[in-house]
Amino acid sequence: MSRVVVKLGGGAARRSLGLVRELHAAGDEVVVVHGAGPQISAELSSLGVPTRFVGGRRVTDAAAMEVVRSSLVAVGAELCDALGGLALQLVGDELGLEAVPVPKLGLVGDPLPSRPPALEEALRAGRIPVVTPLAVGPLNVNADEAATALAAGLEARRLIFVSDVPGVYVEGSVVSRLEADRATALLDAGVFDGGIVPKLLAAVRAARAGIAAEIGETAVVA
């Protein structure tokens, strides 16, 4: 038995639950970390609240935080309903996830590696924890970074990022393998922008920590 963390993007979450079920049925301990980016942006837009991103991360003030929290909790509940009785929704700040505040982004934090007792208990009971990426504060935490922090804290063997894109595009094509050093050089050169930036940064961090990291069809290796 091994531990696997699966990060599901808000736009692809429900479509990807088959993978979660397959991993669990194969005997893996599976932790799901989900986003809700499209849902949050849509709700903020409907309320006339402007959305701004810096380095792929959402700038979050107090008004936006209310929407972030409600949207994330709603998505987590929907995923649990779809997964069935084995799923257990765990909201990050209630779980005790810690993060270092990033004041320039508002109520946002950089998550720290974590091994919450309630999460361990759920895995021992054969459940599938579905974790909402909020940290104590509350602080809005990028779901990709939260997944990496949990994978490190839980000593997971594998970290899988599932989203709307099939993998990492380099020079117009999806690559099957990307070395961490090359990924860092491409990031530093500004080759990537948008949501792939925090995802790739998180995958690089995981790979360098000895965790097998995958973004779609792309394996990120140390």
What average pLDDT is seen over the chain?
92
Task: Cite the DSSP H helix spans in the chain.
Answer: 17-25, 37-46, 62-83, 92-95, 117-124, 143-153, 180-188, 196-208
Note the pLDDT of residue 185: 96
Note the pLDDT of residue 165: 82
Q: Are strands 3-8 and 158-162 parallel, antiparallel or unpaired?
A: parallel
Q: What is the pLDDT of residues 79-126, one digit of tens each?
A: 999 999 999 999 999 999 999 999 999 999 999 999 999 999 999 999
Residue 75 to residue 199: CA distance in whole angstroms:
19
Are 79 and 6 a contacting pair, CB within 8 Å?
no
Residue 120 to residue 56: CA distance in whole angstroms:
30
Model confidence at 9, in pLDDT bands (50, 70, 90)?
confident
Is the pLDDT reported for residue 176 higher than 70? yes
Note the pLDDT of residue 51: 87
Q: Name the residue range of residue 160's domain.
A: 3-221
- In order, the DSSP letters of 90-144 are EEHHHHT--EEE-GGGBSBEEEPP---HHHHHHHHTT-EEEEE-EETTTEE--HH
Residue 49 to residue 63: CA distance in whole angstroms:
8
Across residues 200-220, what is the average pLDDT?
94
Is the pLDDT reported for residue 10 higher than 70? no
Is the pLDDT reported for residue 217 higher than 80? yes
Of 51-60, 93-102, 134-143, 204-213, the poorest mean pLDDT is in 51-60
Across residues 28-44, what is the average pLDDT?
93
Note the pLDDT of residue 129: 97
Residue 94 to residue 182: CA distance in whole angstroms:
37
Residue 67 to residue 133: CA distance in whole angstroms:
14
How many structural domains is the chain composed of? 1
Residue 103 to residue 30: CA distance in whole angstroms:
33
Are 183 and 220 a contacting pair, CB within 8 Å?
yes
- Tell me the CATH number at 116: 3.40.1160.10
Model confidence at 147, in pLDDT bands (50, 70, 90)?
very high
Are 216 and 167 a contacting pair, CB within 8 Å?
yes
Note the pLDDT of residue 11: 61
Model confidence at 57, in pLDDT bands (50, 70, 90)?
confident
Is the pLDDT reported for residue 1 higher than 80? no
Going from the C-alpha of 142 to that of each of 113, 121, 132, 174, 198, the distances in angstroms are 14, 24, 10, 24, 8
Residue 106 phi, psi dihedral angles, 5° rounding = 90, -135
Residue 141: what residue type? V
